């Protein structure tokens, strides 16, 4: 876990493993993407950074983990339709679809109040495919870091349930939002932990569910606005269920 946490400095986790060319690759890609003005590219950089910590941890002997799966293959899991065959992932995506209309109304109203007319225009035009690629990176990076690294790493010291709880709280409160919203995200993270555990610690279905949960619920709404700070990513989700 020390090697994984060393990755808070981009590339250092790979250096501690003796993988110097890999360290250079992570460093240049993280700095390169994160230095761009486009918030979508900054988000990609952030999630490569997340993934690099998981990568350093597993290369140091962290387990259980997919030892020989490269980052690009994990990224591609968002676009593998076979990953929909998972009850937890399918349920989360269904909840996102059910809540989609109300969530987008809320974001639309916020944009109108801020006067961000360019933001509203982009919702209906060119941003959909860009946000899909962005949320694929979010699914990859967040699942690798919070489930692949933190959940399994903490579980080795404190047991599966405690590891899930601690990593899920870290996930929830890493997002921008009030306390109630962040606890809600923590509960969703517990479901992701369960999904990861029941799928023999393979990230593919988690990445798929996470990426499409975000994409279906808000799509390009939170990755297209020039008025939104990239520091507010990864996206926090608010769900309202009427009963």
What pLDDT band is residue 237 in, cutting at 50, 70 and 90? very low
- Whole-number average pLDDT of the chain: 86
pLDDT at 231: 38
Cα gap 192→19, rounded to integer Å: 30
pLDDT at 233: 38
What pLDDT band is residue 220 in, cutting at 50, 70 and 90? low
Give ∠ CA 239-222-53 in degrees, rounded to 5: 90
State pLDDT tens for residues 140-177. 999 999 999 999 999 999 999 999 999 999 999 888 76
pLDDT at 232: 41
Per the CB < 8 A criterion, the answer to whether 147 and 203 are in contact is yes
What pLDDT band is residue 242 in, cutting at 50, 70 and 90? very low
Out of 32-36, 67-71, 85-89, 172-176, which region has the weakest mean confidence (pLDDT)? Answer: 172-176
pLDDT at 98: 87
Cα gap 191→177, rounded to integer Å: 20
Q: Which residue stretches of the chain are H helix? A: 2-6, 12-16, 20-34, 39-59, 71-76, 87-114, 117-123, 127-142, 152-158, 160-173, 179-198, 204-218
Per the CB < 8 A criterion, the answer to whether 191 and 7 are in contact is no
Q: Whole-prediction pTM value?
A: 0.87
pLDDT at 126: 57
State pLDDT tens for residues 178-195. 778 788 899 999 999 999
H or E element, residue 8: none
């Amino acid at each position: 876990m020390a090697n994984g946490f060393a990755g808070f400095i981009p590339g250092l986790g790979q250096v501690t493993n003796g993988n110097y060319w890999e360290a250079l690759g992570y460093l240049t890609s993280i700095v390169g993407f994160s230095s761009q003005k486009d918030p979508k590219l900054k988000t990609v950089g952030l999630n490569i950074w997340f993934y690099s910590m998981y990568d350093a941890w597993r290369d140091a002997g962290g387990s259980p983990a997919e030892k020989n799966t490269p980052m690009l293959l994990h990224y591609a899991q968002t676009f593998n339709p076979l990953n929909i065959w998972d009850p937890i992932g399918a349920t989360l995506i269904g909840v996102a679809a059910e809540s989609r209309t109300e969530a987008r109304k809320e974001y639309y109203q916020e944009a109108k109040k801020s006067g961000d007319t360019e933001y509203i225009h982009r919702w209906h035009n060119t941003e959909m495919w860009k946000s899909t690629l962005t949320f694929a990176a979010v699914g990859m990076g967040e699942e690798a870091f919070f489930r692949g690294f933190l959940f399994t790493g903490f579980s080795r010291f404190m047991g599966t349930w405690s590891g899930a709880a601690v990593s899920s709280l870290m996930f929830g409160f890493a997002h921008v939002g009030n306390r109630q919203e962040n606890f809600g995200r923590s509960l969703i993270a517990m479901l992701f932990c369960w999904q990861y555990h029941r799928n023999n610690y393979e990230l593919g279905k988690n990445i798929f569910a996470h990426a499409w949960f975000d994409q279906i619920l808000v799509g390009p709404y939170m990755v297209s606005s020039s008025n939104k700070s990239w520091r507010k990513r990864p996206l926090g989700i608010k769900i309202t269920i009427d009963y």
